[in-house]
Structure 1
Amino acid sequence: MQKASAQIRPLGTQYYENQYISNPAFAGMDQGMNINISYRNQWRSIPGSPVTMAVSGDYRVVDKVGVGFNVYNDKAGLIGRTRVMGTYAYHLPLNIDNRELHFGISLGMMKERLDEQSIIATPDDIAAARYNQRKSYVDGDFGIAYTTDRLTLQAALPNLKKFFKKDEMNAVMGSTYLAAVSYKIGTTLDVVSIEPKISFRGAKDIDNIWDIGTNLKLENNLVSFLGMYHSDKSSTFGVGINYENFFIQGFYTSQLAGERQRTGGDFEINLKINLLKDQRR
């Protein structure tokens, strides 16, 4: 059975453009209704390489309440996972220089399945059959954030199920926590604005990972450039183009230290659509 570690390497869009997928407190934080569609292919030169697809949306329905949804599908080797989540977020103004506290919780269902037809082993493998007999289970995420016009502090606990019940048959390594801080320098009206960021990601069964980098945007956010270095000695680079209500962004992530050569790296593309912006605050 192949070992799947796609869950540890997050989608590149979660660092800046779609932070909601890693922290439910960001649901409805930005102006308008945001729809994001992401596709990623890791180590594409290797058969059975991980493929991830995600669709999410978030919107602030009233002054202090945001909602969102997140559908995530990941297939790595023989293991496939589908996760469907709904989110409620509360945004509390502190009435001082646009400072706010944000709280969010996501609840939904997770389904994991083994591709029995692709197993090269004894027919009617009992362990594989037992794995697929498991029912979908309830899962959730919790997140908080503090924001000003420039500063963002955040923390999140993903995959809450593991805190309540350990699953010995779960073959996919999982994240245990996320903490991050970023600071904006410049505004959308400046010729160039940047937002340095550092984050820490707890991980099950492997060393924790830190990420450091920045997002650079040209005037009116027409073009953006992202660069992140990860403590596992890989790097992520991204470029995005904004046109009216559409933002398309592509990412490339280099190989992890110790991975075999010519695996092809990771390629990701994300489309962000912003709707109802003129009706927002």
Structure 2
Amino acid sequence: MVSVGGVRGASLSRTSTRRGGRGDLKSFISTYYYNQLGEKNGSKMESMNPILMAIGASLLMSLVSLVGIFFFKARKKLLKEEVLTLVGLATGALLGDAFLHLIPEALEIRGAKETGLGIIWGIMIFFVLEKFLKWRHCHETDCHQGHSLAGMSLAADSIHNLIDGLIIGSSFMISTPLGISTSLAVLLHEIPQEIGDLAILVHSGYTLKKAALVNLSSAFFSLIGVLIVWLMGKGINLHQELIAITAGGFIYLAASDLIPELHRHQSKIKESLWQLITVSFGIGIMYFLV
């Protein structure tokens, strides 16, 4: 998630300066394209309707959720063997996103106490949600861990996409170059996460087609975020309130559902080491996208 920080246009350059020594790829791309677009095409692009451009960017972000289909189709013969590997990557991506992206941004915007409270709220909300999903499913049919895991993943991803939509919409309301640069930064973040989300759904028992359609439906929450900005104006700060809650949800999902799944499917030291590598790799991806 790019650090717009309540539609503060200058935060891109501040973030780049603060982290530039570490080779911040996402911030570099975001700042570079913002500067290039602003210098070369600023006056022409500012005449375009910002909300229409934000909607277009949001729809493009939604289509990114389908990238996992091509990944799985290309390796269909190894699908079952590799799903747990992707669950490990998803675990690392969720933890990395929470601790390297969301929590630092929430701390900068809201402060330590409110951020901590938001994380606790997120954990409690997803705890209650999982209880409800398990209760509902266990009353309808035989209990199965996959159903609640899929529901939790979709809920967390939907909130995350809503935040992305709020940020994209807010950025386009400030300026078109900033909106485009922000969208590019969000795109970098979404690709590995969407593959992980699809892996969770497939592991939970969904067919590849159904998993892709459900994942696409959650991706459209970014469009809802854009429409909220349009209805309430560019000063909307709702995404600030949701950042820490989303972080808590991601932490809960990884620690309560995905990590136990990895423990449940290990039988040899070699498999345990491979799981550790995949989780670490997922964290590493998010580290280089900070």
Bigger relative contact order (CA 8 A; separation at least 6): 2
TM-score by length of 1: 0.24
**Larger helix percent:** 2
**Larger strand percent:** 1
TM-score by length of 2: 0.24
